[in-house]
Amino acid sequence: MKGSDIKKIAVIGAGAMGNGIAQVGILAGYTVAMRDIEQRFVDKGVDTIKASLAKFVNKGKITQEQSEMALSRLIPIVDLEAAVKDADLIIEAAPEDLDLKKKIFAELDSLVPEEAILASNTSTMSITKIASAAKRQERVIGMHFFNPSVLMKLVEVIYGNNSSDEAVQATFEVAQKMGKIPVIVKKDSPGFIYNRVNAPTGLLLQKILEKGSPSFEQFDAVFKPFMPMAPFELLDYVGLDIVMHTQKYFSETLSKDYTPVKALVDLVNSGVLGMKTGKGLYDWSAGRPQIDTSNPTTEYDPVDMVALQVNEATKLLEEGVVEGPADIDLAMANGGGGVGPFALAKGIGYDNLVKKCNALADKFGLEVFRPTKTMQEGNIQV
């Protein structure tokens, strides 16, 4: 199956990611069946798409006619077999639960056409493990959109251990047709690219939270003036429960260093989850928190964060997860960062970054912060 052979897409799950992916699909000219387990979930997904399209029309991004044409290509549906039996590409966006995903993939494997590609939008799970539920594992891949999927450009197209080049290439072309920036992840590895490169900075935030000094607000005060969202504010925005689960996953797959700290676990256990509960590290009850920027810490600076990201990015190179450094920069720049880590490293200098990583590794006793051989050689061309 080539990218140009793909005409009909089925999206499994009409939640936050599913309805966004369906919208992107219909806008790109695909017929999209959006399937959820109950009619009310499907209806909610359709309402979200309609509201989002209306915003696009109001902002002049698309015309009313284009919006109507796109909606005419949407098939909201509960019947799984009818949704997928003539689909060329199926994108699963059901909850992040391995057993559920395996059950869905086993079912899909028996319902879809011989040539159809089965993609999972999982943020963390092994594509190979998900694919193990299917008989034809060569057609199972990862297609990882970012939230909000109607706006974010990056799509990671991920090889499982048994995925075919053909399935990956065809999906890559679909993502391009959707107006996205796809990046191929050659090796099924925890966190793929974007979440993996950000893993150690998430860990640093946890450790600062645990120490209690500087305060999270003093830390955010350093970043707030030049970032749309400061680091701890972003944790609240994502959800402290999601952050904790991701850290736990990294502690099981990458290093014990990632074990969630007690301060984070306690917050989650007491139902303090961030923006969605109105209270996280900050108070969100009246909208976005007012962050006091008058007393920034001098103990840390943005280069600490960059150093950890660049170092983690070099691990992806050493492990062969990507084709080369340019792919990492492309992914990070389009996943939310604006500029890739290696482009930033060029300006800062590898000697400085290596010193930062060693200082942070010593300070917290964390070997995951220790600079890699590639980092120490500092000879990365982008």
Residue 10 binds ligand NAD, judged by CB under 6 A: no
CB of 373 to ligand NAD, least distance (A): 32
Residue 123 binds ligand NAD, judged by CB under 6 A: yes
Q: Do residues 45 and 76 lie in contact, with contact meaning Cβ atoms separated by under 8 Å?
A: yes
| 144 part of the active site | yes
Distance CA 229, CA 227 (A): 5
Q: Do residues 41 and 84 lie in contact, with contact meaning Cβ atoms separated by under 8 Å?
A: no
Distance CA 199, CA 282 (A): 22
Size, binding site for ligand NAD by CB under 6 A? 22
Return the closest-CA partner of residue 300 out of 210, 201, 199, 189.
201
H helix or E strand, kind and range, residue 18: helix 16-27
Residue 94 binds ligand NAD, judged by CB under 6 A: yes
Only one of the segments 120-128, 198-206, 276-284, 302-310 lies at the binding site for ligand NAD (rule: CB under 6 A); that segment is 120-128
Residue 12 binds ligand NAD, judged by CB under 6 A: yes
CA distances from 36 to 19, 40, 43, 55 (A): 10, 9, 9, 24
Q: Which of 73, 144, 180, 279 is catalytic?
A: 144
Q: Which residues 36-75 are close enough to bind ligand NAD by CB under 6 A? A: 36-37, 41
Q: Which of 67, 121, 198, 309 binds ligand NAD (CB under 6 A)?
A: 121
Q: Which of 18, 160, 202, 296 binds ligand NAD (CB under 6 A)?
A: 18
Strand partners, 92: 12, 120
H helix or E strand, kind and range, residue 184: strand 181-185
- Residue 31: which residues within 8 A CB-CB, separation 6 or more? 7, 8, 9, 73, 75
CB of 249 to ligand NAD, least distance (A): 11
Residue 154 binds ligand NAD, judged by CB under 6 A: no
Q: Which of 93, 158, 330, 375 binds ligand NAD (CB under 6 A)?
A: 93
Only one of the segments 16-24, 167-175, 253-261, 330-338 lies at the binding site for ligand NAD (rule: CB under 6 A); that segment is 16-24
Cβ neighbour number for residue 78 with a 10 Å cutoff: 15
The catalytic site residues sit at 144
Residue ranges that bind ligand NAD, judged by CB under 6 A? 12-18, 35-37, 41, 93-96, 104, 121-123, 145-147
